[in-house]
Amino acid sequence: MSGAGKTTIGRLVEAELRTTHPGTVYLDGDMLREVWGEQTGHDIAGREVNAGRISRLCAMLDQQGLDVVAAVLSIFPDWQAWNRATFSSYFEVFLDAPMDVLRARDTKGLYAAAAAGNESNVVGVDIPFPRPAAPDLVLDTSGAAGSPAVLAAAILDRIRELR
């Protein structure tokens, strides 16, 4: 969810992968919304359209032999299953942090705005967040398991095991 560390950890993973796999692409959910514009909105229907766009873009890049690090909020089990069935290699990481930690971080001010009644369609507040059914790796990003660099290293270790 917002504030879990997707961007920070994803960038670290991408930078390290790029040293041995120059054809590594980094995609971030916020970055892609900026590229595509706000035409989909942040309600559940808009989020599902966006999830489909991201998955299809990743599939296109995968078909071209590129490694993709996609740092995105994923709330649609059907798209997660589609990714696993479609990509040549799919590795799903769930960055898990308790809601009280995410609210304390509130890097985008979303949780405070939602609490004040100024923001709606916030995942974990008024849009349910279904925990992923079968992630390949779950990392505690509350701070107890280490720094973002330590967590990124854990992801990279698992990726290396799979290659």
**What's this model's pTM, rounded to 2 decimal places?**
0.94
pLDDT digits (tens, 9 = 90+) for 60-96: 999 999 999 999 999 999 999 999 999 999 999 999 9
**Burial of 116 by CB count in 10 Å (0-12 exposed, 13-18 middle, 19+ buried)?**
exposed
The catalytically annotated residue of 74, 88, 89, 147 is 74
% pLDDT > 70, the chain: 99
Examine the residue annotation and report whether 88 is marked as an active-site residue of this protein.
Answer: no
* Whole-number Å distance between alpha carbons of 94 and 74: 9
